[in-house]
Amino acid sequence: MKKIIINSLLIISSSTLFISCQKDYGNLNSPTYESFLSNSSASDLNNLVTGSESGMRTNMALYLDDVGTIGRENYRFSASEPRYVTDLLGADNATLSNSNFYITNTWASRYRVVKNCNTLIQAATNSKLITAEQRSGYIGFAQTIKAYQLLLCLNQTDSNGIRIDVSNPAALGPIVGLSPALDAIQTLLDSGKTALSAGTIVFPLSSGFSGFSDAVGLVQFNRALSARVQVYRSDWADALTALNQSFFSLTSDFNLGVFSVFGTGSGDQLNPAFIPQMQTGEVRVAHPSFAQDILPNDDRISKATLRPVASLNNLSSDRDVWVYTSSTAPMPIIRNEELILIYAEANIQTNNFTEAVKALNVIREKHGLADYSGALTSAALINEMLYERRYSLFFEGHRWIDVRRYNLLNTLPLDRPADNVWGLFPLPVSEQ
The sign one gets for the Cα dihedral 212, 215, 220, 226 is positive
Q: What is the pLDDT of residue 17?
A: 42
DSSP of 361-425, one letter per residue?
HHHHHHTT-PPP-S--SHHHHHHHHHHHHHHHTTTSS-HHHHHHHTT-GGGSPPSSTT----S-P
pLDDT in tens, 375-423: 999 999 999 999 999 999 999 999 999 999 999 999 999 999 999 999 9
DSSP of 118-154, one letter per residue?
HHHHHHHHH-SSS-HHHHHHHHHHHHHHHHHHHHHHH
Q: What is the pLDDT of residue 428?
A: 97
Q: What is the pLDDT of residue 38?
A: 82
**pTM > 0.85:** yes
> What is the distance between the alpha carbons of residues 202 and 369, in angstroms, rounded to a whole number?
44
Contacts of 352 (CB under 8 A, 6+ apart): none
Low-confidence ranges of the chain (pLDDT < 70): 1-36
Q: What is the pLDDT of residue 93?
A: 84
Q: What is the pLDDT of residue 386?
A: 98
Question: Where do the structural domains in the chain lie, given as residue ranges?
Answer: 2-268+329-335
Backbone angles phi, psi at 74, to 5 degrees: -150, 165
Q: What is the pLDDT of residue 235?
A: 98
DSSP letter, residue 23: B
* SS percent in the chain: helix, strand, coil, step 5: 50, 10, 40
> What is the distance between the alpha carbons of residues 223 and 356, in angstroms, rounded to a whole number?
20
Number of Cα atoms under 13 Å in the Cβ half of residue 178: 15
pLDDT in tens, 80-90: 999 999 999 99
Adjacent-strand bridge partners of 331: 260
Architecture of domain 2-268+329-335: Alpha Horseshoe (1.25)
CA distances from 323 to 197, 208, 303, 400 (A): 34, 17, 5, 17
Q: What is the pLDDT of residue 35?
A: 60
Q: What is the pLDDT of residue 192?
A: 98
Pairing of strands 74-77, 283-286: antiparallel
Q: What is the pLDDT of residue 36?
A: 65
